[in-house]
Amino acid sequence: MANFRRKQPSRRPQKPAHEEPPVLGQVEIVVERVGARGDGLALSHGARLYVPQSLPGDQMMVKFGARRADGWEAVPVALVGEAPGRAEPPCKHFGTCGGCVVQHMGPEVYAAWKLDTLRTILGRNGLLDGVTIHPMVTTPPEARRRAVMTAVRRGKRLWLGFNERASHRLIDMEHCPVLLPSLVAAAQALRPLLAQLLTQDGQQCDVALTQLDDGVEVVLEGIPEPKLSELEMLSAFAEAQDLARLAWRRKAGAPAEPIALRRTGLVSFGTVTVSPAPGAFLQASRQGEQALASLALSGIGEAKVVADLFAGSGTLTFPLATKAKVHAVEGEETAVRTLEGGAKQLPVGQVTVERRDLFRDPLVPYDLNRFDAVVFDPPRAGAEAQAAEIAKSTVPTVVAVSCNPTSFARDAQALLAGGFRLMEVTPVDQFLWSAHLELVGVFRR
Ligand SMILES: C[S@@+](CC[C@H](N)C(=O)[O-])C[C@H]1O[C@@H](n2cnc3c(N)ncnc32)[C@H](O)[C@@H]1O
């Protein structure tokens, strides 16, 4: 029988329910399927129930809980008929921590759920006909190489961890089976230091941890400029912990100010080694990054001149440059500098770099028609304006890398309207046990 990890009762007063549920007592339900956010979906008394930590086919006794969107939270009471494929969650924080939503799924059920979610989104948008959907590329536990945690002082105690699901309450993280052990160790080592920095009750900051090739990087976000004594303390910490880099910034997105640059801060992409600015975007795991790069490489086929749009620090640019001349376009200034540093390591003209806001000023057919293939990898919002221009161009091949199947589907529609066919899609799972899914789609015409 499954052992449900119950959400710990909140210490805050609960909001009064504004609406009475259709039934006050227990009801028996069967979970039909698991929805995109990881909750089981069931119907009872004409109402939709969202059932946490359930599997398709589970028969359960539940009560109606809080109102949620178009339905109600289900409060599990007992599992009366257990569907196959349940797993023992490996993390003691599962059930409260917002990082993972489905550790109760065994690997087969988990892969089937992610694939089903993807197929549902693609199907809803008419994108399944004639498309090959490849098996999902998975990332193992203890592989995530970047994470942003929150630290807060509450009374005498320092809390450090991730938020609870759909809440601003914090989990005081003791371990994390998803992150690289080096990042968990760095987080634990940071506690006494953060306790000295955050001295006022309620004071908090974010802590961005990244494993680079030459060590761990820590960026403290949302703190006031450190005083001299604090800078000395932070530098001594970087030394004692053998960090690659330690930096701070006033808020997420602001430039990170270095405190200790003990090493260069290196990442290798293809044949090139770059030094991204502290806090720069990197794919969440080495395994995921390599999968995306090899899918982009195979997706461009024999293309000899390629545009890599939303290029970041060159995750895809430099692997692509082993096979083609690449024009990398990116909006963020520090990432552009990283790209330029990498391009200098290659023969002149192999990689050219352009800083451009591709939302406001996308490449137009005049710019695009010289490319044999375009690769784009936008943020979650997608590449709406850029996809519309590619549709008007003569580019024969597009490889779309996406961290959001919904915006991918919208951009795919624009490409299809421009005469492209979606040939194949490969889901890439970099965020183990979460509801996130990345994918690579190859379009040709
Ligand atoms: C998902 S990341 C991908 C980066 C890179 N392809 C990689 O795999 O590491 C998206 C990139 O788009 C860039 N970006 C966001 N908005 C942009 C815009 N309006 N114009 C150009 N680049 C933008 C971000 O700076 C970031 O580097």
Rounded to the nearest integer, the mean pLDDT of the chain is: 94
Please report the sign of the dihedral spanned by the C-alpha atoms of residue 431, residue 434, residue 436, residue 441: positive
Mean pLDDT of all residues in 180-200: 96
pLDDT value for 13? 40
Rounded to whole angstroms, how far apart are CA atoms 22 and 45? 7
Q: Which residues pair with 249 in a beta bridge?
A: 221
pLDDT over 70 at 15, yes or no: no
382 alpha carbon – ligand 1 mean position (Å) = 10
pLDDT, average across residues 345-349 = 98
Nearest alpha carbon, ligand 1 atom 4: 312
Residue 6: pLDDT over 60: no
Cβ atoms within 10 A of the Cβ of 132, count?
Answer: 10
Q: Which residue has the tokens 């640019």?
A: 317
Mind listing the domains of the chain with CATH numbers? 125-140+282-444 (3.40.50.150), 146-267 (2.40.50.1070)
9 class by beta-carbon count within 10 Å (0-12 exposed, 13-18 middle, 19+ buried)? exposed
In this prediction, residue 20 carries a pLDDT of: 87
**pLDDT, tens digit (0-9, with 9 covering 90-100), for 148-189:** 999 999 999 999 999 887 778 899 998 999 999 999 999 999
Pocket of ligand 1 (CB under 6 A): 281, 283, 310-312, 315-316, 330-332, 335, 357-359, 377-379, 403
Between the CA of 379 and the centroid of ligand 1 the distance, in Å, is: 6
Average pLDDT over residues 259-274: 97
420-440, pLDDT tens digit by residue? 999 999 999 999 999 999 999
Mean of the pLDDT values across residues 198-211?
Answer: 95
Q: What single-letter DSSP state applies at residue 52? A: T
Task: Out of 146, 212, 274, 281, give the residue to mutate to test ligand 1, the one with the largest number of ligand atoms within 8 Å of its CB.
Answer: 281
pLDDT above 70 covers a percentage of the chain that reads 96
Q: Are 261 and 248 in contact (CB under 8 A)?
A: no
CB 416 within 8 A of CB 422: yes
pLDDT confidence bin for 303, thresholds 50/70/90: very high
420: left (phi over 0), alpha (psi -120 to 50) or beta: beta
For residues 179-207, average pLDDT: 96
Q: Is the pLDDT of residue 256 over 80?
A: yes
- Give the atom of ligand 1 at the shortest distance from the alpha carbon of 313: 9
Residue 350 has pLDDT above 50, yes or no: yes
Among 11-20, 50-59, 109-118, the minimum mean pLDDT is found in 11-20
- Give 12's pLDDT tier (boundaries 50, 70, 90): very low
Q: Is the pLDDT of residue 33 over 50?
A: yes
